[in-house]
Structure 1
Amino acid sequence: MTTEVSEQEHQASESPKEPLLDEVMQMPLDESKAEYAEAHAWSDPQRIHAFSEPIRFLQAMVHPSGTLHLVWTSNNWLWYSRQEGDGWTDPQRMFVGTQPSAVMDAQGTLHVIFVHSFAGRYQVYYTRYVDPYWAFPYEISRTPGLSHNPYLTVSKNGLLYAVWEDDTPGFPSIYHAYNPEGYWINAPIPGVRGWRPALAFDGEDRLHLVWESPIPTGAGDDIFHTQMTPAGWTLPENISDSPRTDSSIPRVTGAADGTIHVVWQEQWGNRLEVGYARGRYASWTRPIALTRTGRNYAPQITAGPTGHVHVLWQDMNTLAYRYWTPGKKGVWHMAEALDRHISGVEETALTCDPQGRAHVFWTRKEENGWGLYYRYREAPPKKHKHYIPTILANG
């Protein structure tokens, strides 16, 4: 149970001012202080599938009707399932491939890109699903080098945009492709070297790219951003700005007001935290730490239609979640534990529907295989109401 109180009486569900990421990375590790609020606003966990083999690259999408769709890979095959009535369809095997990235457009067409190896060439392929058929995949990367880690997004008017890593120039580069008039055009992005690219359109349909790249000091990688303009891509800008630590695995989402929100994994020695920054081209907040326990990794992020931002990550055996309420200063709310299991959380996916509900999926190891679980929460209130949360020790 949660107890609603007035703003004047209590503000316990709001976290204190978030510390700067650089400060947290220098703090002594103290995992005993990890605390999470109970996930009262969430549905009960539902086990929707069971697998004999682990799954990877789990993707979750929402159809305009509200139906949820899933794509993942297992044993080098792509698989698909969707909500149907009160349950889910049996997993459908699609094509040989791995590393899928999937999006749903405004018309309800599901688009997927993935990596497929043919004659020793790893290339990026594209397919789409219009119930009940999958289109035959075709190659969109078309480079002589190794293409992998693809990422796909779609604009409001249905323009598909893809990026991936490619070593064709002889060093790690980021290539992009888009599909005007239904055919794909691809090229390297000038001046962009690195790994693990991610894309998002903001609320004004401007395209943003984030990626991981080494910094000149050699201490590790940082997270960089560039924006597509009518004149081309803007100059890369360093948004993690952490010369002493290693920043990796960025994820990005665009809010309705045009703001870009980015999370990533920050590492120094054995310490792992979730870093965060928001802004626009040439105007970014200083990076803050959304976590402080030293064992947090694999963050994901999405924004709802009212501007709320949802973040999901793994904290050892805990599936953790926080959300941000927009405003003049904005408020990050206390982290919640969505699942705890002795074998730990493995694959995760996060999405938000047009009504602002957040949907979370995750897998965990069980006695005879792996289970795939699901929870959702209603959209947070536009004006924050304060609650006294039940606190759980993370032990």
Structure 2
Amino acid sequence: MYTSQQPAIAVDGQNRIHIVWSSYLPIGNALYNIFYRMRNSNGLWGPIETLSVFPNSYHNYNPRVAIDSEGNVHVVWEAYLANEYYPHIAHRVKTNRGWSEVVVLQSSYRRENPSCAVDKFNNLQVVVTTNEIGPSYDIVRFVRTPEGNWEGPDTVVHFNTGSRYFPEIVATPDGNLHLFRRDFGHYTNYCYRIYYKRYKILNYVILE
């Protein structure tokens, strides 16, 4: 039986609703795939579109969606490639010309649980959980410029003890980024705690 999970939603400036989700629905060699659907302001649903068909696609999870000021639809997700055991971050954008090719930000470390938002400069801000800083899990950021160039990763949250997981990012028109995350370690009394921090951005640079 096919299952659907991990929905995410965004609304654009024309009151259209954009939904993405992951499903166990094998397509080619990919067992779990990412799907997209749009509901317009009149309540009419568009077709379901498959986003995660690309070379070596295998498992695809945890999609997130954000809309930029031009109305472009950005989708990021956690992508496992065939014969690999750690996730990468994948991105695809829909413009008035249709969907772009899938871009995979490859690494030899785990990058998972992405969250994304578009800032006032129309950059796509992506935060993820990763073990690439060490010794445990922390939060790093990638930035995709309006021209389609990727910057990063740069460190957003890192401590020498404990772990940081499941970042959630929101961008506000005043140029701030708001980040929530779940921490675990001695400083949380070994309980899961939610932490929040606000960042000011200047071009691509985070000013704490």
TM-score normalised by L of structure 2: 0.81
Matched, 1:225 2:82: no
Deviations 1:208-236 (A, max 9, x none): 00000014561411111111022221111
Determine if contact 2:71/2:95 at 8 Å carries over to the other structure.
Answer: no
Letter in 2 for 1:169: P
Residue 326 (structure 1) shift: 2.4
Separation in structure 2 between the aligned mates of residue 296 and residue 265 of structure 1, nearest angstrom: 7
Determine if contact 1:259/1:279 at 8 Å carries over to the other structure.
Answer: yes
Matched, 1:184 2:45: yes
Q: What's the counterpart of residue 122 of structure 2?
A: 258
Deviations 1:181-222 (A, max 9, x none): 312222322626511100001123211000000145614111
Separation in structure 2 between the aligned mates of residue 302 and residue 165 of structure 1, nearest angstrom: 22
Report 1:44-123 matches (<5 A): none
Separation in structure 1 between the aligned mates of residue 139 and residue 101 of structure 2, nearest angstrom: 25
Q: Secondary structure at the match of 2:173?
A: coil
Report 1:308-347 matches (<5 A): 308-316=176-184, 317=188, 318-328=193-203, 330-333=205-208
Find the partner of 2:136 among 259, 271, 279: 271
Determine if contact 2:114/2:128 at 8 Å carries over to the other structure.
Answer: yes
Determine if contact 1:150/1:164 at 8 Å carries over to the other structure.
Answer: yes
Deviations 1:154-189 (A, max 9, x none): 101101111111122351111111113312222322
Separation in structure 1 between the aligned mates of residue 86 and residue 165 of structure 2, nearest angstrom: 17
Question: Among the aligned pairs, what percent are the same residue?
Answer: 21
Task: Report 1 or 2 for greater relative contact order, CA contacts < 8 Å, sequence distance ≥ 6.
Answer: 1
Find the partner of 2:10 among 142, 153, 161: 153
Gaps of 5+ in 1: 1-120, 122-144, 334-395
Deviations 1:124-145 (A, max 9, x none): xxxxxxxxxxxxxxxxxxxxx2
Separation in structure 2 between the aligned mates of residue 218 and residue 167 of structure 1, nearest angstrom: 19
TM-score normalised by L of structure 1: 0.44
Residue 246 (structure 1) shift: 0.9
Structure 1 residues 210 and 274: alpha-carbon distance in aligned structure 2, compared to 1, 3 A threshold? same
Q: Secondary structure at the match of 1:191?
A: coil
Number of aligned residues: 188
Structure 1 residues 260 and 329: alpha-carbon distance in aligned structure 2, compared to 1, 3 A threshold? closer
Find the partner of 2:34 among 160, 171, 174: 174
Report 1:227-246 matches (<5 A): 227-239=93-105, 241-243=106-108, 245-246=109-110
Residue 329 (structure 1) shift: 5.3
Determine if contact 1:255/1:304 at 8 Å carries over to the other structure.
Answer: yes
Q: Over alpha carbons, which structure has the higher Rg?
A: 1
Determine if contact 1:150/1:197 at 8 Å carries over to the other structure.
Answer: yes
Structure 1 residues 216 and 190: alpha-carbon distance in aligned structure 2, compared to 1, 3 A threshold? closer
Structure 1 residues 328 and 208: alpha-carbon distance in aligned structure 2, compared to 1, 3 A threshold? closer
After the TM superposition, which segments of 4 or more aligned residues of structure 1 sit over 6 Å from their partners?
none
Determine if contact 2:52/2:102 at 8 Å carries over to the other structure.
Answer: no
Structure 1 residues 163 and 300: alpha-carbon distance in aligned structure 2, compared to 1, 3 A threshold? same
Residue 270 (structure 1) shift: 6.9
Structure 1 residues 277 and 184: alpha-carbon distance in aligned structure 2, compared to 1, 3 A threshold? same
Q: What's the counterpart of residue 284 of structure 1?
A: 150
Structure 1 vs Structure 2 CA RMSD: 2.2
